[in-house]
Amino acid sequence: MQTVKMVVTGPFSAGKTEFIKSVSEIDVVSTERKISTKAEKTVKEATTVAMDFGRITVDEDLVLYLFGTPGQKRFDFMWEILSEGMLGFIVLVDSTRPETFREARSILETFRAYAPTPYVVAANKQDMNDAWELEDMRHALRLDPKVKFLSCVAMDRDSVKTILLELLYSILAEMESGEK
Amino acid sequence: MALRGNLRDFTITQLLNLINLARKTGTLVVEGPNETAQAFFREGKLAFAQIGREDTSLAHILFKANKLSAGQYKAIQQRGNSVSDKELGLLLINAGYVSQDDILANLQQYSTDVIHRLFTWVEGFFRFDNDQLPPDDRINVRLDLENLIIEGSRQLREWEQLQDEIPSLDMALKFTARPDANMRNVNLNVEEWRVVSYINPKNTIRQIGNAAKMNDLEIRRIVYGLLQAGLVEICRPEGVPIPQPVRVFPTEDKEEQKTLVNRLITRIRSL
Ligand SMILES: Nc1nc2c(ncn2[C@@H]2O[C@H](COP(=O)(O)OP(=O)(O)O)[C@@H](O)[C@H]2O)c(=O)[nH]1
Ligand SMILES: [Mg+2]
């Protein structure tokens, strides 16, 4: 059995668990534990402290694993470990919470520094009224025009599929350009 | 829509950066604890700014700048609102009291001062209103935002935030390809110029810091300002061997790898 993996990262409460849930064929394995910090509690009642883990079986001998990174800063020692051997990564950003954009940028730059792996950035929660527009977010996140930046609703399977596909197209394009 | 938030999370400098890069037209409204500020933009340039109910009439601004005497100012005031700023400006120029440059320079200074005061606001709700255009009766200036952004970034002292903005000093910098990113019109200080002189995809930020004899905090702060102003971007250093990720694919064969990615694509499409 062959396995490959992708990493889904982004700030706390960006929608990583939801994203992986939408396409995983197994229940997303994640240890939910009540976090006591007040600030975090107001955002979400329970938060994931272990990483999320989802699976998509491709055929008899190929499986894709999706790993979600723990969002909080104090778990960032896990990022480098998780990023080892990944095919590519997805950075999820909560479009309704500009206070997390700086952290999202930081996470992106940190991952970019590990390895030149293909990635896409997804503006999540675009279904919400107070979501920022993509164009504004692109500047706020300081994304180069060449970076794929896509609209996302993590609960919507089609939306998640599109993002995974765009990442795979980027991976393929890079393999092809590397051969020249 | 929904370009709104709190200054605690998204600073004035970052907002100016966004307005600059997106070349926005409209009004930035900031509701601070005591006052409300408004800054009007046209295609990413500052047209006019004001805080609270301050008298922003041309006559008052020129009077404050000692371009009009108290007597002249009083005489104009007695006219009430019958003369618009544009008309007044023309009258004053024609009468030889002030030059057009005087008027523009003082209006620019006024708006610049307002933005400088805004930089000190740490708390307040902001929103950007696309539909509210710069006021017609005012003389609008066209102030490039790059300098304001650099000035605002210089005030950022917080170590943790700088660490967030530039997590790795082992990346390099290059000048942005943006056609209007023009270094010549930007007022850099000596330290900033020193850093700029070393910018090259071959040099890591750490190397630039060492060469310019700056500590991590100093180099981060300067690079942050240049990034914010859209003059440079972070890139992978050239000539440094790319760290080979540990085993991404279960096979070494390039064709098999491609087939594998195509299998993934087919599977995801079928979900
Ligand atoms: N409306 C909306 N809510 C979302 C979306 N994605 C996630 N959420 C909600 O946002 C909260 C945080 O999501 P979660 O997946 O736990 O975030 P994580 O911390 O990144 O794993 C949960 O209440 C989700 O149901 C989305 O696209 N739209
Ligand atoms: Mg989670």
Q: Report ipTM for this prediction.
A: 0.87
Q: What is the CATH number of domain A2-179?
A: 3.40.50.300
Q: Is residue B79 part of a domain?
A: yes
Whether B28 and B68 share a structural domain? yes
Contact residues for A68 (Cβ-Cβ < 8 A; gap 6+)? A7, A8, A9, A16, A17, A19, A20, A28, A30, A48, A51, A52, A53, A54
| Of B166 and A34, the one with more pLDDT | B166
DSSP A29: -
| Of B10 and B180, the one with more pLDDT | B10
Mutation target among A23, A112, A157, A174 for the B interface, most CBs of B within 10 A: A112
How far A32 CA sits from the closest chain B CA (Å)?
27
Whether B185 and B151 share a structural domain? no
| Whole-number Cα distances in Å, B156 to A128, B152, B168, B237 | 32, 7, 18, 26
DSSP string, A66-113: EEEPP-SGGGTHHHHHHHTT-SEEEEEEETT-GGGHHHHHHHHHHHHH
Whether B184 and B105 share a structural domain? no
pLDDT, tens digit, 9 for 90 and up, residues B154-190: 877 677 778 888 888 999 999 887 656 666 677 888 8
B118 — pLDDT class (breaks 50, 70, 90): very high
pLDDT, tens digit, 9 for 90 and up, residues A61-80: 999 999 888 766 666 677 77
Segment 125-144 of chain A within 8 Å of chain B by CB:
129-133, 135-136, 139-140, 142, 144
Whether B22 and B90 share a structural domain? yes
Whether B69 and B184 share a structural domain? no
Q: Is residue B250 part of a domain?
A: no
CB B184 within 8 A of CB A124: no
Mean pLDDT of B107-136: 90
Contact A103 B161 (CB under 8 A): no
Mean pLDDT of A142-150: 93
Mean pLDDT of B119-145: 88
Give the amino acid at B183: M
Whether B206 and B117 share a structural domain? no
Domain of B202?
Answer: 166-235
Whether B21 and B56 share a structural domain? yes
How far A40 CA sits from the closest chain B CA (Å)?
15
Q: Is the CB of A124 under 6 A from ligand 1?
A: yes
Whether B198 and B153 share a structural domain? no
Percent of chain A scoring above 70 in pLDDT? 82
**Which residues on chain B are in Cβ contact (under 8 Å) with A105?**
164-165
Q: Is the CB of A125 under 6 A from ligand 1?
A: yes
How far is the centre of ligand 2, averaged over its atoms, from the C-alpha of A52 (Å)? 7
pLDDT, tens digit, 9 for 90 and up, residues B197-232: 899 999 999 999 999 999 888 899 999 989 888 889
Whether B172 and B154 share a structural domain? no
Looking at the complex, does the CB of residue A73 fall below 8 Å from at least one CB of chain B? Answer: no
Whether B90 and B54 share a structural domain? yes
Residue A40 has pLDDT above 60, yes or no: no
Question: Which alpha helices (H) appear in chain B, and where do they start and end?
Answer: 12-21, 58-64, 70-78, 85-94, 100-119, 146-154, 159-165, 190-197, 205-211, 216-228, 254-269
pLDDT at residue B87 in the model: 86
Contact A99 B5 (CB under 8 A): yes
Q: Is residue B206 part of a domain?
A: yes
Write down the mean pLDDT value for chain B: 88
Whether B107 and B179 share a structural domain? no
DSSP string, B188-244: --HHHHHHHHT--TTSBHHHHHHHTT--HHHHHHHHHHHHHTTSEEEEPPTTSPPPP
> What's the structural domain count of chain B?
2
Q: Is residue B257 part of a domain?
A: no
Residue A33 has pLDDT above 70, yes or no: no
Q: How far apart are CA B57 and CA B255, in angstroms?
A: 71
pLDDT, tens digit, 9 for 90 and up, residues B49-99: 999 988 888 999 999 999 988 988 888 888 766 788 888 898 889 888 899
B219: CATH: 1.10.10
For the record, the structure tokens of B189 come out as 């200080």
Percent of chain B scoring above 90 in pLDDT? 45
Mean pLDDT of A166-178: 92
Cα dihedral value A46, A47, A49, A53, nearest 10: 110
Taking CA–CA distances from B170, the nearest residue in chain A reads A113
Taking CA–CA distances from B254, the nearest residue in chain A reads A175
Q: Is residue B266 part of a domain?
A: no
CB B233 within 8 A of CB A108: no
CA-proximal residue: ligand 1, atom 25 (nearest): A18
Contact residues for B240 (Cβ-Cβ < 8 A; gap 6+)? B204
Whether B23 and B98 share a structural domain? yes
pLDDT at residue A48 in the model: 47
Percent of chain A scoring above 90 in pLDDT? 58
Q: Is residue B62 part of a domain?
A: yes
How far is the centre of ligand 2, averaged over its atoms, from the C-alpha of A18 (Å)? 7
Residue A38 has pLDDT above 80, yes or no: no
Taking CA–CA distances from B126, the nearest residue in chain A reads A98
